[in-house]
Structure 1
Amino acid sequence: MRHTRKLFIAAGYGLALGFSAAAGAADTQAIAAALKQALPGIAPDSIQPSPVKGLFEVVVGPKLFYVSEDGRYLIQGSLIDAKERKDLTEARLTGARLNALNKVGLGKMIVFKPKNPKHVAYVFTDIDCGYCRKLHSEIDQYLREGIEIRYLFFPRAGEGSDSYYKAVSVWCAKDRNQALTRAKRGEAPERKECDNPVDEHMALGNAMGATGTPMIVTEQGNLLPGYVPAAQLSRILAQEDATAQSKQ
C-alpha cells in the first residue's frame, strides 16, 4: 500500500496504453478490465458515470479520478461545475475518505473518547511534531467540547525513522492511550515491536495527500491541514453537521 501514491502519479503517463485494449467498450466492466491491466493489484471501490456525459468516475480508496467511456483516457484533477461554481470532485472525495477510514477501522486507531460525544475527528499525527504535541496537550479541551479524537500515525520522517519506531512502540504498549500521551510529552517509549497498523496509516495519509501533521479529517470527510484549537474545531464540526442536515 505504501506505493499507491506513486502508482497514481505514474498513472497519467502509462494508462493510455492499458486502456486502449478496452477502446470502444462503453461500460464499467471494460473500464475495470483496463484498470486491472494498467494498474495490477489496485481494485476500484466503485466505477460509475460522472455528471459529464462520456466520462466515468473511478474511486480507489480515498482517491478519485475520471476515465473516458472508451477506457482510453484518464483524467486526474477536480471536476468543476462552472455554472454552480461547485467542486464536484471534492464533494465526492469526502465520502471516499470516510469509506477508507472505515476500512481501517476503530480497532486500528488510538481513540480518546469524551463523556458526552457530539462529534468525531480523525487526526493523522507525528509523535515528534510540535503542533501535534500542542494539539494533544489540549486533549482535555477537545473532550470537553464533545469531540472524539481518533488518532492515526503519520511519522513524517518515514519508515525506519526514530519517529516511526516511536509510533510502533506506542501501538505495542499495554496502554496505548497512556503511552501516546507520555510520548507526546517527550518521554521516549519503551522500544517494542508487534503487529501494528503504522504502515497502513502512512499509506492512507499519503493517499489523502498529507504533506504535514497534524492533518484532521472531519466526520463529514473534509480535510483540515494543521492544528485547529478545540473551540474552533467544535464550531467547524457543528457547522458541517448543520449543512449536512440541511441537504437531507
Structure 2
Amino acid sequence: MLKRIAISVALLAAATTTYAGSCGDDEAADLATSDVAATLRETFPNYQFQEINPAPVSGLYEVVSKNNIIYFAPETGHLIFGEIWDKKGQNLTAKSRDRQTAKMIENLPLDKAVKIGNGKHKVIEITDPDCPFCRKGSKFFANRSDVTRYVFFFPLAMHPDAEPKAMYILGADDQVEAYERVMQGELDGKPVPAPTKAARDLLEEHKRIAIQLGVNGTPRYWINGVSVSGANIQKIESLLQ
C-alpha cells in the first residue's frame, strides 16, 4: 500500500538548502537522480512516472507523472502530494508544471490540429465550439494576420452540441471554413451531419492532448509558448506586440 503524506500547507524552501547546492558537480547530480529513480521503482513498482529531478528542499525529489508533479523522499520511502513555495511567495511546484507543459507544447503533433493563418506568432488554441469565451477569442484572432493558429478541440460536457460540431469541423474538406462557420454560430440550433470515424478518432486524440496539457476549461492558449487562460484579450494583445 502506498505510504502517502498529504501536505495541506506549503513547504517553505527558505528554511532548507537545495539539493543542487549540495552536489559537487552535474555528473554527481545525474548519478544521484538515477539512483533515486531506481529506488522509486523498487519502492512503488506500479507507479508510473516520466522524470525525476532534484527538488528545492533537501531530501526530496520532484517526480513528474503525466501532467502532475509530486515529491519522493527516498530515505523514508514516502510519496508527498502538495506544493512547495519559497519565502518570496513563489509557487515552485507551479513553475515546474509550467516547464513540463512547455516541453509538451514543443512536441505537440501540430499536423493533427486545424491550422489557421501563416503569421509570425505561434498560437496553440484549446477550444470548445459552443463556449462563448472561445468564440470571443476566435473573433479576436479572425481580425489578425500576424498569427499562425493551431486549434485543438476540447468539448465540455455543459455544451452537448459542442462535440458534434467539433467532429463536423475535423471531418470537413475545408476545416478552416467549417471552423469559422461554427464559431460564428451558423450551425447553432441546426442538425449537424453525422461524423466520420476519422473525425471521431481525431477528436479523441485532441481531447487526450488537452488532458495531457492539464486543460480543464476553455479557452486555453499558448501565445509564443506563454500560457493564457480564458479569453484574456488584453494579455493576448500584449504577447503579440
Q: Same fold (TM over 0.5)?
A: yes
TM-score w.r.t. the length of structure 2 is 0.72
Deviations 1:22-64 (A, max 9, x none): xxx96211213445414xxx4x221122121211111233322
Partner residue in 2 for 1:94: 98
Larger Rg: 2
Partner residue in 2 for 1:28: 37
Between the aligned partners of 1:33 and 1:173, the Cα distance in structure 2 is: 49
Q: 1:135 aligns with which of 134, 137, 143?
A: 137
Q: Is the CA contact 1:61–1:96 (under 8 Å) kept in the aligned structure 2? A: no
Seen in structure 2, the aligned counterparts of structure 1 residues 133 and 66 have a Cα distance that, compared at 3 Å, is: same
Partner residue in 2 for 1:16: 3
SS at match of 2:215: coil
Seen in structure 2, the aligned counterparts of structure 1 residues 77 and 109 have a Cα distance that, compared at 3 Å, is: farther
Deviations 1:57-102 (A, max 9, x none): 11233322212224732233321121x4322222222221122234
Whether 2:196 is the aligned partner of 1:193: answer yes
Correspondence list, 1:115-134, <5 A: 115=119, 117=120, 119-134=121-136
Partner residue in 2 for 1:220: 225
Q: Percent identity?
A: 23
Give ranges in structure 2 of 5+ residues lacking alignment.
Answer: 5-33
Partner residue in 1 for 2:22: none
Whether 2:80 is the aligned partner of 1:78: answer no
**1:209 Cα deviation from its structure 2 partner:** 4.3
Deviations 1:215-241 (A, max 9, x none): 22343353x221122x64131355xxx
Between the aligned partners of 2:209 and 2:113, the Cα distance in structure 1 is: 13
Q: Is the CA contact 1:28–1:48 (under 8 Å) kept in the aligned structure 2? A: no
Q: Is the CA contact 1:170–1:179 (under 8 Å) kept in the aligned structure 2? A: yes
Q: Is the CA contact 2:125–2:220 (under 8 Å) kept in the aligned structure 1? A: yes
SS at match of 1:181: helix
Partner residue in 1 for 2:60: 55
Between the aligned partners of 1:237 and 1:16, the Cα distance in structure 2 is: 47
Q: Is the CA contact 1:94–1:220 (under 8 Å) kept in the aligned structure 2? A: no
Q: Is the CA contact 1:147–1:234 (under 8 Å) kept in the aligned structure 2? A: no
> Runs of at least 4 residues of structure 1 off by over 4 A?
33-36
Between the aligned partners of 1:237 and 1:80, the Cα distance in structure 2 is: 31
Deviations 1:167-186 (A, max 9, x none): 12211211111111111122
Seen in structure 2, the aligned counterparts of structure 1 residues 81 and 165 have a Cα distance that, compared at 3 Å, is: same
Q: Is the CA contact 2:218–2:230 (under 8 Å) kept in the aligned structure 1? A: yes
Whether 2:235 is the aligned partner of 1:236: answer no
SS at match of 2:3: helix
Q: Is the CA contact 2:130–2:161 (under 8 Å) kept in the aligned structure 1? A: no
RMSD: 2.9
| Matching residue's letter, 1:52 | V
Between the aligned partners of 1:154 and 1:67, the Cα distance in structure 2 is: 32
Partner residue in 2 for 1:180: 179
Partner residue in 2 for 1:65: 70
Seen in structure 2, the aligned counterparts of structure 1 residues 31 and 221 have a Cα distance that, compared at 3 Å, is: farther
